[in-house]
C-alpha cells in the first residue's frame, strides 16, 4: 500500500524567512496530495492541495510543488509569520471512489519573532 | 453548517471499561473517517465508511475496536475493553468523496485517557 515519508520532523525559522517541508510517496498511482495544518490542541485543516496533473500551485504565501517522476512533493511557505507555527501534515491518495488519505508523520514548524 | 461534531470532547476512564465515541458528519457528506492521533504514530486511519457501509477497516488495531454507522448522520467508535495504550486523540472526519481531491473536514476530536 501507499507509504508517505515527511521531512523534517521539526523546523525552526526566523519570522520573514521561508520554510520548506518535503514528502515522498511510494504508490505511483496516487494522484491527490493535500496539506493540512494543525495548530496546538486543534483539528487538522486543509491549507492547500494539488492534483497529479499539475506541477505547482500557489495560494498567497503558500505553494506546493509536485514531481511525479521522483514521487515527491513539497510545501513552501514564504515570509513566515508567528501564526504559521503549527504541525503540518502531507498526505497522498489514490483518489476516485476509493483512496483514503495516507498521512505523513507531520512537521512541527516554529516561527520565531 | 456546524461542521463535524464529536462527543465527548474529553473522556477519562479506567482500564477495562467500555468507551464509546460519537460523531455527526457534515450533512450531505458521503464519506466518514475515524482517525487516531498519538505522538508516536502520528495520524492513523482506523476505518472509513461510504454511504454508511464500512469500506476499509484494516487500520482498526484489534477486535477490541468496533465502529458502526447506523445512518448518514451518526457514527460510533467503541473500545471494549479499553487499555492504557488506547489513550490518544480520536478524530472523525467527513468528505463528499473519498480522496479524489475532496477535502476531508475534521471534527474537534475526542481526547481519550485510559488509566
Phi, psi of A94 (to 5 degrees): -75, -15
Q: For residue A2, which residues of chain B lie inside 8 Å, CB to CB?
A: none
Strands A107-112 and A86-92: what pairing? antiparallel
Q: Is B104 on the interface with A (CB under 8 A)?
A: yes
Which residue spans within B8-104 are E strands per DSSP?
Answer: 10-13, 19-24, 31-38, 42-50, 53-56, 65-71, 74-79, 88-95
Residue B2, class by beta-carbon neighbours within 10 Å (0-12 exposed, 13-18 middle, 19+ buried)? exposed
pLDDT tens-digit profile of A65-83?
999 999 999 999 999 999 9
Percent of chain B with pLDDT over 90: 78
CA distance B104 to B88: 20
Contact assignment for B43 to A103 by CB distance below 8 Å: yes
pLDDT tens-digit profile of A12-56?
999 999 999 999 999 988 888 999 999 999 999 999 999 888 789
- Residue among B43, B99, B107 whose CB faces A89 most closely: B43
Phi, psi of A84 (to 5 degrees): -80, -10
Closest residue in B to A38 (Cα) is: B106
Statement: residue A87 has pLDDT above 80 = yes
pLDDT tens-digit profile of A98-111?
558 889 999 999 99
Confidence class for position B2, pLDDT limits 50, 70, 90: confident
Amino acid at each position: 500500500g501507499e507509504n508517505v515519508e515527511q521531512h523534517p520532523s521539526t523546523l525552526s525559522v526566523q519570522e520573514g524567512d521561508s520554510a520548506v517541508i518535503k514528502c515522498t510517496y511510494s504508490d505511483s498511482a496516487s494522484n491527490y496530495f493535500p496539506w493540512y495544518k494543525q495548530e496546538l490542541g486543534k483539528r487538522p485543516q486543509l491549507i492547500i492541495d494539488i492534483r497529479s496533473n499539475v506541477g505547482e500551485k500557489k495560494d498567497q504565501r503558500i505553494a506546493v510543488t509536485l514531481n511525479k517522476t521522483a514521487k515527491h512533493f513539497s510545501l513552501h511557505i514564504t515570509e513566515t509569520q508567528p501564526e504559521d507555527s503549527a504541525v503540518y501534515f502531507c498526505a497522498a491518495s489514490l483518489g476516485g471512489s476509493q483512496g483514503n488519505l495516507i498521512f505523513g508523520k507531520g512537521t512541527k514548524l516554529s516561527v520565531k519573532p | 453548517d456546524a461542521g463535524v461534531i464529536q462527543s465527548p470532547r474529553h473522556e477519562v476512564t479506567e482500564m477495562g471499561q467500555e468507551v464509546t465515541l460519537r460523531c455527526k458528519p457534515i450533512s450531505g457528506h458521503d464519506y466518514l473517517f475515524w482517525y487516531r492521533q498519538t505522538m508516536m504514530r502520528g495520524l492513523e486511519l482506523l476505518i472509513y465508511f461510504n454511504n454508511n457501509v464500512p469500506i476499509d477497516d484494516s487500520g482498526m488495531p484489534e477486535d477490541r475496536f468496533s465502529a458502526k454507522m447506523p445512518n448518514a448522520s451518526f457514527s460510533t467508535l467503541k473500545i471494549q475493553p479499553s487499555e492504557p495504550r488506547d489513550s490518544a486523540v480520536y478524530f472523525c472526519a467527513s468528505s463528499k468523496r473519498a480522496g479524489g481531491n475532496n477535502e476531508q473536514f475534521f471534527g474537534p476530536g475526542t481526547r481519550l485517557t485510559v488509566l
